[in-house]
Each structure stands twice: as structure tokens, then as C-alpha cells.
Amino acid sequence: MKHLVIKGWNVGLNKILLTKMLRTEFGFSLSEAKSITDRVLGNEEIRIPLDESSPSGEDIVKALCEIGAKASINT
């Protein structure tokens, strides 16, 4: 199974967009998405499983990088 790995952030990370993206792409509640955003800001590595019905992982990684997160896909 593939995993989206968020392993840090760059200066200028848009926290609000990260939270919104987590909610829309993965269906997290607001509190879950905010918690994940806080964990990313604390430099904790986040692994989110991607199932076959998920949108293209590469598109998500690109979007995350554009808002300032450091992300990749791991199998």
C-alpha cells in the first residue's frame, strides 16, 4: 500500500491551505486536520495511507509542495 509522507515544512507554509487540503483530499474532520498540521509544524513525520480510489498521489505531493510542505510517496 502506498503512503503519503509529510516530513516537514518550508518557511512560508500556508497552514490554512494545508488544513483545508487534508480535509478535502482525505476526509479528515477539522480537528483531525488541524492536529496533523500542528504535528507537521512540530517536525513530526506524518504517514497517510493512500487507497486505490484516492486521487493521484503525485498530484497531492505537488500541491503540498506548492503550499510549503515537504511531502513524498512511499510504498
Per-residue pLDDT of the chain (75 residues; tens, 9 = 90+): 889 999 999 999 999 999 999 999 999 999 999 999 999 999 999 999 987 765 567 889 999 999 999 999 987
Give the pLDDT confidence score for residue 55 in this predicted structure: 58
User: What are the structural domains of the chain?
Assistant: 2-74 (3.30.1390.10)
The answer to whether the beta carbons of residues 18 and 66 sit under 8 Å apart is no
Give the pLDDT confidence score for residue 53 in this predicted structure: 62
Reading the block at residue 51, the C-alpha cell is 487507497
Reading the block at residue 62, the C-alpha cell is 505537488
